Amino acid sequence: MRKILLSFEGTDYSQGAFDFARRMNEGEPVLLTGVFLPQVDIANSWSYAYGGGSVYIPLIERVDAETVEENISRFKAACARYGIDHRVHTNFSSYALPELQKETRFADLMILGGQLFYENLGTESPNEYLRDVLHEAECPVVVTPEKFNYPESIVLAYDGSSASVRAIKNFAYLFPELCELPATVAFASDKSGKKLPDEDYIRELVARHFSDLTFRELQFAPKDYFSTWMADQANPILVTGAFGRSGFSQIFRHSFASDMITDHLFPVFISHG
């Protein structure tokens, strides 16, 4: 049984994130832990996340406690309706992200509703909080839109880096029930005919986990056209490696997964640990 975190920030409730967890539970029962974080003021936040320290996010003084309680009741009722084993965690201090980081240390997967995160932060850099959450998470993360179709295909973003390989392995371990879906290993290259990095190794690995497999060299700049190419896939989930400020790797720059999340097109599986 997998332990899944469903993280809610402030008064937001992501139905899309819950729906993804519900579909996971249908394939194999999970323990679903609802983590209800206090609302935070991103405009006044500061972070040492990328310098080896912890993240401090001050609480907004006025928290709509009644709405949070309603969301907790909604979560419990939905879990009971679908027969999902669940827990609720609400004991968080003003240091919201370090507390969430500890939660991820003891979980197999965290699911976030990306659309609500973006719509409610209200800052000039609306993805900053989500970036920090993804960077500090000690387990893989799935970011979901509010409205989406459960995956019918898989896109494995591969660039030869250890992070991209680790993400593929972690996805296979966590979602064995999805590994029979059509899967495409997408290798981006800005030079025609460039060889797939460590081709024999990656082919040996992915063939052990994915039964319907295709390799595709994408001969264009990922940050410019990857979103368009993904839109042509059949209800995909994107599997990708480390999410950081400097981009994913030497090939996948400009954090193209950030564009995927912002466009609210499909779920994105991110693993960097």
DSSP per-residue letters across 201-265? HHHHHHHHH-SEEEEEEE-S-HHHHHHHHHHTSSSEEEEE----TT-SSSSS-S-HHHHHHHTT-
pLDDT value at residue 160: 87
Instruction: Name the band, by pLDDT with cuts 50, 70 and 90, for residue 207.
Output: very high
Question: Using an 8 Å Cβ cutoff, are 232 and 148 in contact?
Answer: no
Q: What angle do CA 81, 32, 103 make, to 5 degrees?
A: 150
Which tokens go with 177?
């029930």
pLDDT value at residue 111: 95
Q: Which residues pair with 33 in a beta bridge?
A: 5, 87
Question: Using an 8 Å Cβ cutoff, are 209 and 178 in contact?
Answer: no
222 versus 155: the higher-pLDDT residue is 155
Name the pTM for this structure.
0.83
**Which domains, and CATH codes, for the chain?**
2-144 (3.40.50.620), 153-270 (3.40.50.620)
* Cβ atoms < 10 Å from Cβ of 25: 21
For the chain, what percent of residues have pLDDT higher than 90? Answer: 41
Q: Which of 99-103, 129-133, 227-231 has the lowest mean pLDDT?
A: 129-133
Q: Which of 25-29, 62-66, 147-151, 247-251 has the lowest mean pLDDT?
A: 247-251
Instruction: Name the band, by pLDDT with cuts 50, 70 and 90, for residue 261.
Output: low
Instruction: Name the band, by pLDDT with cuts 50, 70 and 90, for residue 18.
Output: very high
pLDDT value at residue 50: 41
Task: Kindly tell me if the per-residue pLDDT of 125 is higher than 60.
Answer: no
Residues 6+ apart with CB under 8 A from 149: 235
Question: Using an 8 Å Cβ cutoff, are 91 and 38 in contact?
Answer: no
Q: Which residues pair with 144 in a beta bridge?
A: 113
